[in-house]
Amino acid sequence: MNDTEMRCNFWLPRKNRFCSNTRFKDSQFCGNHTRRSDGQWIQCPIDPSHSVLQGNLDWHVKRCPLLKQVQSLSLQPFYQKGINAGSEGEAEVGHTLRLDDDSISPNVLVSDSLDNISSELKRNAVHSMSIPEFHNLIKKIESIHESLCKDIQDSYQMPEACNIWIKRGVERKIPFQEKHVMQQASILGNLEKFGVLKNSVEKSTSGCEEELHKDNNNDIPVVVEFGAGRGYLTQLLADCYGIKRVFLVERKAYKLKADRSLRQKESLIVERLRIDIEDLDLNVVLRGVHFLAIGKHLCGPATDLTLRCCFSDHIKDNTEQCNTSKNLGGLAIATCCHHLCQWKHYINITSSQAGWL
């Protein structure tokens, strides 16, 4: 039997060809295109991003691709399960908080079980409302938003230091998407506006050219990028402002990362921590060092977890010497546009409770 006969027989209309994967021995299709079994599928306890047949669970947990990474992570000194997830006191508030009768059915809890609130339960709660109840709920949300965000102003900054990227004066091998570069530059520009970063670009005496100082004149010894992804916010920061050491915090694995380019900088130390922000004990990583925290496209829960991670007053065992909030030199987070929020991780529960009641 030749290679063509061993290929999967699933037709890919967009590519106008059959799937090129090898099919199973007793099937016409590969693993990706074989019809799913009608048995009960459950989430993998090691990696919830995929599911397995309940009957195969015992076999799968011993061979899950993420198993070695999880085992290795659990041995790291900076790993502490759920350290930034929220305190028990905050969780109790979530259990007792209800919406007013005039905004939502009194039988619907904001959080019956903080660990088990699915999207389906949320949708059902909204769909069960009458039109007046739904409008009252929207009014309350808008009222709370206005009370909490009334002093927040838009600030779009294009710093001179980022011209090397904005004008595409970077290596062609580095991925360039204008919208992302403009967003990243504005984040750094606002940090410069508040004095957290120092402009490393000055006009020459002739006023016609820009010169980049070789010496690093930013006094921040460590930068921590949360939800780093491929790390190109740090790449922009390193190219335009100069930094000494950076920790890239990201729970997923990515291709085409900026790490290779960053590691070519002799004056920069790069460390990537593959860990969920929820489980990161930043005190152990930094050991009292002054640092700057940044993040781009963090969802709501990731933003809350990052704030807890940086302002570690909530950790009962904290000592004055290792409290990260005392060493935080600046923080800049640009959230994503999906408005994802989870009560379990929400950091401003007290203010929200006052708004609902």
pLDDT tens per residue, the chain (357 residues)? 566 778 898 899 988 999 988 888 888 888 778 776 667 888 888 887 788 888 888 989 888 888 888 888 888 999 999 899 876 545 444 444 444 444 444 344 444 455 556 677 888 888 999 999 999 999 998 988 888 788 888 888 888 888 878 776 566 556 667 788 889 999 999 999 988 888 755 443 334 344 444 444 566 789 999 999 999 999 999 888 888 899 999 998 888 888 888 998 888 999 999 999 999 999 999 988 899 999 999 988 899 999 999 987 655 554 444 566 788 889 999 988 777 777 788 887 766 555 555
Structure confidence at residue 70 (pLDDT)? 84
Residue 104: the pLDDT is 40
CA 43 to chain centre: 22
Q: What is the structure's pLDDT at 306? A: 93
Q: Is 217 left (phi over 0), alpha (psi -120 to 50) or beta?
A: alpha
pLDDT at residue 155 in the model: 87
Query: Is the backbone of residue 341 left (phi > 0), alpha (psi -120 to 50) or beta?
Result: beta
Instruction: Provide the pLDDT for residue 109.
Output: 42
Sequence-distant (6+) residues with CB within 8 A of 109 are 95, 97, 98
**Which 8-state DSSP code applies to residue 21?**
S
pLDDT for position 87? 62
- The pTM score is 0.72
Ramachandran bin of 175, using left for φ above 0, alpha for ψ from -120 to 50, beta for the remaining angles: beta
pLDDT at 294: 95
Give me 45's structure tokens: 């306890």
